[in-house]
């Protein structure tokens, strides 16, 4: 099983390289280190959840770069009605 996995890994090393390059270049170009996105995400969660209940675990913050233009993409799913009424389940995600 292990050797099988290794074979798969080997075959896909170029795809992994491309994926990692894309990621790192987006951050290099925008001059925002990946760790800072996590901090921004925490700040956004804190601010928004003061007003509306949100699905904290599913919040995503990423950089989208098209040519010379970079933009911050923030996706914040609001908590569904039925889950809002069960504060326990929402809280557990904290």
Which residue ranges make up the site for other proteins (CB under 8 A)? 10-15, 17-18, 20-22, 24-25, 28-29, 67
Residue closer to other proteins (CB basis): 29 or 84: 29
Q: How far is the CB of 72 from other proteins (least distance, A)?
A: 19
The sign of the dihedral angle between the CA atoms of 21, 26, 30, 36 is negative
Tell me whether residue 31 or residue 81 sits nearer to other proteins (CB atom): 31
Provide φ and ψ at 12, rounded to 5°.
-95, 10
Place of tokens 């760790």: 35
Nearer to other proteins, 2 or 13 (CB): 13
Cα gap 38→29, rounded to integer Å: 18
């Amino acid at each position: 099983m292990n050797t099988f996995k290794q074979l798969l890994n080997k075959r896909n090393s170029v795809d992994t390289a491309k994926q990692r390059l894309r990621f790192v270049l987006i951050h290099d170009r925008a001059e925002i280190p990946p760790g800072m996105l996590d901090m921004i995400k925490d700040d956004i969660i804190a601010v928004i959840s003061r007003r509306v209940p949100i699905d904290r675990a599913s919040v995503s913050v990423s950089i989208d770069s098209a040519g010379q233009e970079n933009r911050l993409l923030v996706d914040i799913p609001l908590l569904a009605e039925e889950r809002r009424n069960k504060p326990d389940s929402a809280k557990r995600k904290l």
